[in-house]
């Protein structure tokens, strides 16, 4: 004897036998549902007893226990089968519903399972939202808390920056800046000099200083002639005297 072990929660599985799909109708759908490989079928039900004793389904009303009935049919695409507990010919208690769509059998979820699934989905969404929000939270002792979003950085990068109009500097500002630069140059003289644009800077110590030209020696006689020429140029030419005949 083979025993089939199925999971307790059947809401996440489905079952289908493709060989039955072309012949599914109101009369054969219960036989299709009672296949041994169907995990939704309970072999201890009254339907199995009726099948073994070769009786009709009308005898189910006279029995007590679990049974399966065809609740709704919309051939050939939709069939709904109900599992119920019969206590008397007129009193039954529904246990589960199964719907068959295009030959595939699913178990319809009960109200408790639907509410539980919706609550878990909502809690998961809220928890994910809180975790994502916390990833954007920043804190610094001097600033406190603030939000740092990635899309905000992208918008700031793509946003064109407005060009500021440059105002001309005043004479006082230029003179003051030149004085400060001169003061800094005297306190911290440059160590490297770039003689031409594009060249590598070189140390100031390696620059060869050109010797200053020595003052030419001037003879005392030349000095006197220079002085006389300068004094004559300043006084003007001497007046000519008239000659006596």
Coil, helix or strand for 195? Answer: coil
Q: Is residue 76 located within the same domain as residue 143?
A: no
What pLDDT is stored for residue 1 in this prediction? 32
Return the higher-pLDDT residue of 239 and 4.
Answer: 239
Cis previous bond, 211, omega within 30: no
What pLDDT is stored for residue 229 in this prediction? 53
The helix (run of H) or strand (run of E) holding residue 66 is: strand 65-74
pLDDT in tens, 149-199: 877 666 666 766 666 666 777 887 888 888 888 888 888 887 777 777 777
For residue 7, is pLDDT > 80?
Answer: no
2 band by pLDDT with thresholds 50, 70 and 90: very low
244 band by pLDDT with thresholds 50, 70 and 90: very low
Q: Select from 27, 33, 81, 85 the least CA-distant residue to 56.
A: 27
Q: CATH number, domain at 49?
A: 3.10.450.580
What pLDDT is stored for residue 5 in this prediction? 40
Last residue of a domain, one of 128, 158, 188: 158
Q: Is residue 98 located within the same domain as residue 28?
A: yes
What pLDDT is stored for residue 4 in this prediction? 39
Q: Which of 118-122, 187-191, 231-235 comes out lowest in average pLDDT?
A: 231-235
Supply 37's token pair.
Answer: 């490989």
Q: Select from 36, 31, 39, 34 the least CA-distant residue to 11.
A: 39
Q: Is residue 30 located within the same domain as residue 87?
A: yes
User: CA dihedral in degrees (80, 62, 90, 38; nearest 10)?
Assistant: -20
- State the Cα–Cα distance between residues 29 and 78, nearest whole angstrom: 10
What pLDDT is stored for residue 111 in this prediction? 87
Return the higher-pLDDT residue of 21 and 143.
Answer: 21
Overall number of domains in the chain = 2
Unique residue bearing structure tokens 């489905």: 14
Unique residue bearing structure tokens 């002792």: 141
What pLDDT is stored for residue 45 in this prediction? 93
Edge-to-edge strand ranges of the sheet holding 78-88: 15-16, 104-107, 91-101, 78-88, 65-74
Q: Is residue 46 located within the same domain as residue 76?
A: yes
Question: What residues pair up with 106 in beta bridges, in sequence order?
Answer: 99
Q: Is residue 78 located within the same domain as residue 150?
A: no
Q: Is residue 117 located within the same domain as residue 104?
A: no
- 36 within 8 A of 53, measured Cβ to Cβ: no
For residue 239, is pLDDT > 60?
Answer: no
Q: Is residue 100 located within the same domain as residue 131?
A: no
Coil, helix or strand for 87? Answer: strand
Report angle CA 16, 17, 21 to the nearest 5 degrees.
100
Global pTM value: 0.49
- State the Cα–Cα distance between residues 180 and 24, nearest whole angstrom: 99
Supply 159's token pair.
Answer: 């946003």
What pLDDT is stored for residue 73 in this prediction? 93
Helices (H), 109-170: 111-135, 150-158
What pLDDT is stored for residue 163 in this prediction? 64
The helix (run of H) or strand (run of E) holding residue 171 is: helix 171-187
- Please give the average per-residue pLDDT across 97-116, as a whole number: 92
Q: Is residue 64 located within the same domain as residue 144?
A: no
Q: Is residue 103 located within the same domain as residue 142?
A: no
Establish if 199 belongs to a structural domain: no
Helices (H), the chain: 29-33, 46-52, 111-135, 150-158, 171-187, 220-235
Boundaries of domain holding 29: 14-108
Establish if 210 belongs to a structural domain: no
β-pairing verdict for 192-193 and 144-147: unpaired
């Amino acid at each position: 004897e083979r025993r089939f072990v199925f999971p307790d929660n059947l809401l996440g599985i489905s079952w289908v036998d493709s060989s039955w799909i072309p012949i599914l109708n109101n009369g054969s759908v219960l036989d299709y549902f009672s296949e041994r490989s169907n995990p939704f079928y309970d072999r201890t039900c009254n339907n199995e007893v009726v099948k073994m004793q070769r009786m009709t389904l009308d005898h189910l009303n006279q029995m007590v226990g679990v049974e399966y009935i065809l609740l709704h049919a919309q051939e050939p695409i939709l069939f709904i089968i109900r599992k119920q507990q019969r206590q008397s010919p007129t009193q039954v208690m529904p246990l589960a519903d199964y719907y068959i769509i295009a030959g595939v059998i699913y178990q319809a979820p009960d109200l408790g399972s639907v509410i539980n699934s919706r609550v878990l989905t909502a809690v998961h969404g809220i928890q994910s939202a809180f975790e994502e929000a916390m990833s954007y939270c920043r804190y610094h002792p001097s600033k406190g808390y603030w939000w740092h979003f990635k899309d905000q950085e992208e918008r700031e990068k793509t946003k064109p920056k407005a060009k500021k109009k440059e105002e001309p500097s005043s004479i006082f500002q230029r003179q003051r800046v030149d004085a400060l630069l001169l003061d800094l140059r005297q306190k911290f003289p440059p160590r490297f000099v770039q003689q031409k644009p594009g060249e590598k800077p070189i140390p100031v110590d390696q620059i060869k200083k050109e010797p200053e030209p020595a003052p030419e020696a001037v003879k005392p006689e030349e000095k006197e002639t220079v002085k006389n020429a300068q004094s004559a140029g300043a006084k003007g030419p001497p007046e000519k005297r008239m000659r006596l005949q």
